[in-house]
Amino acid sequence: MNQELIPHLFRTEYQKIVSVLCSLFGIHHIEIAEDIVSDTFLTASETWAIKGIPENPTAWLYTVAKNKTKNYFKRNDIFEKKIVTEIKYNSPINNPEIEIDLSEQNIADSQLAMIFTVCNPCNSDEAQIALALNLLCGFGINEIADAFLSNKEVIYKRINRAKEKLKEENIKIQNQNPTEIQERIDTVLKTIYLLFSEGYYSTSQNTTLRKDLCAEAMRLTYLLIQNKATNLPATNALMALMCFHSSRFEARTTENGEIILYEDQDESLWSKELIDQGTYFLSQSSTGNTLSKYHLEAGIAYWHTHKKDTAEKWQHILELYNNLIILEYSPIVALNRTYALSKVMGKQEAITEAEKLQLNDNHFYFSLLGHLYLGHDNQKALQHFETAFGLAKNVSDKKVVTKNIEQLIHKNHKTE
C-alpha cells in the first residue's frame, strides 16, 4: 500500500466529511462527527493493507463514512430519538431515511458554513484559528502548537474550550448573512494565511516545504472566491499571494530537500501558469477602497516573480514594505524590509536599521546581518553566521548557514 496515500487523503478529505456530518448533527455533536470520520480512516488503513487500494479511494471513504453514520444512528437510541428526529423535522422532505449528502456542492456549502461557525466572535481570535486549523484543515495538536509557538497542552485545552463555547452559545451551522461575513472574514483569512505559511516554511516538521498544506490553503481560499458573499478584494489578494509564492516551489529546494535561496533559483523552474493566475487574482483584488496586508504582501510576491535585479523592482518592494509596516507592524516584516532597504539604499544604512531590531532569538536576523556585513567586515559576518547556525532549528536551515560559513572562510583564505 502506498504509505503516502492515507495521510494525503486524511489531509484533503477528513475535514470535508467532518463538515458535512457537523452540518447534519449540529455543533453539540462535533466529536461524534470527528469520531466517525477518524474511524473511517482507521478502517481504510486496515482494509487497504490487506485487500489493496480500491479503484476510487475517495469514493470508498465517502461510502464507508455514510455507512458508519447510518450504523451509528441505529446503534444509539438517544441519538436516534433526539438528533435524527430533529434532522427529519427540519428536512424539506420528511424522509425516513437520513441522507448523508457528500456531493461536491454540499461539501462546499458545508465547509463554508463550518468556516464561519468555527470563526465565531464568541471565541478569541487565537481560539478561532486553533479550532479552524484542527477541525477544517486537519492540523494535529503538535502542528498547531508549533504554529502558535506554544505547547500541545495549551493548544489542546484551547481547542476544547473553543468547542465548548460554541456549544454554550448554541451556535448554528448555517450560511452567514453579509454582516456576519464582514465581522468574521478577517479571522477566516488569517486562519488560511497561517495554514499556507506553515506549509511554505514548516516549523513543525524537519522539512522546509510542505506542499500539501499550501494546496489545502489555496483550496479553502478558492472555496471563498467561488461564493459571491466571500469573493472579496482581500480574499483575491490572499489567493494572488499564494499563487506567486507557489509558483517558485519547484525551484526552492533541491532533490534532497535543501533550501535554494532566491538568488540561486533556476527561473526556468518557476510556474508561469501560477504567476499568471496570481496576476489575475491580484487584478481582481483591486476593487473597493480597502487595502489589506494581503494586497501589500501579494505586491511584494509579484515583484519577486521578476528575477532581474533592477532598481525599479527593489524600489517598489521597499515602498510596499513601508506601507505594510504602517498597516500591520511585525518584527519579521521589519526584518524583510531591511533586505529591500539594502538593495535601494546600500548595506550600511540597512545594517543600522537591522541592528535596531534586536531579534536575538531569530536565526534569520543573524543570517541577514551576516550577508549585510559581507565585504564590509567579514569577521563580524562570520560571527553572525555562526550565531545563526546555533539558532537554526531544522536541518535545511543549518545547511544554508553552513554553506555561507564555508564560502566566507574559503574567501578569507584566498585573500590572506
- Of the candidates 163, 134, 164, the one whose C-alpha atom is nearest the C-alpha of residue 148 is 134
Q: What is the pLDDT of residue 203?
A: 52
Q: pLDDT per residue over 322-352, tens digit each? A: 999 999 999 999 999 999 999 999 999 999 9
Reported as half-sphere exposure (CB side, CA atoms, 13 A), residue 212 has a value of 14
pLDDT of residue 389: 92
**CB within 8 Å of 307: residues ≥ 6 apart:** 265, 267
- Nearest C-alpha neighbor of 262 from the set 293, 306, 217: 306
What ranges in 247-304 are assigned the alpha helix state H? 249-252, 272-284, 293-303
Residues near 361 by beta carbon (within 8 Å), at least 6 away in sequence: 391
Residues 273, 328 contacting (CB under 8 angstroms) = no
| pLDDT at residue number 249 | 87
Model confidence over 230-276: pLDDT tens digits? 999 999 999 999 999 999 988 887 777 677 878 888 999 999 999 99
Contact 198, 147 (CB under 8 A): yes
Residues whose CB is less than 8 angstroms from the CB of residue 72 and which lie 6 or more positions away in sequence, other chains included: 32, 36, 79
Residues 6+ apart with CB under 8 A from 53: 1, 2, 5
The dihedral built from the CA positions of residue 133, 139, 144 and 145, taken in this order, carries a sign that is positive
CA 375 – CA 250 distance, rounded (Å): 31
Indicate if the alpha-carbon torsion angle 124, 126, 128, 130 is positive or negative.
Answer: negative
For 270-282, the pLDDT digits (tens) are 999 999 999 999 9
Q: What is the rounded CA–CA span in Å between residue 350 and residue 362?
A: 17
Task: Give the Cα separation of 367 and 350 in Å (integer).
Answer: 13
Which pLDDT score, from 0 to 100, does residue 88 have? Answer: 45
Nine cell digits for residue 169: 452559545
**Per-residue pLDDT, 81:** 59
Cα separation of 256 and 232, whole Å?
Answer: 39
Q: Would you state the pLDDT for residue 270?
A: 95
Q: What is the CB-side half-sphere exposure of residue 77 using CA atoms within 13 A?
A: 0
Low-confidence ranges of the chain (pLDDT < 70): 1-3, 77-98, 147, 149, 202-210, 257, 411-416
> What is residue 93's predicted lDDT score, i.e. its pLDDT?
36
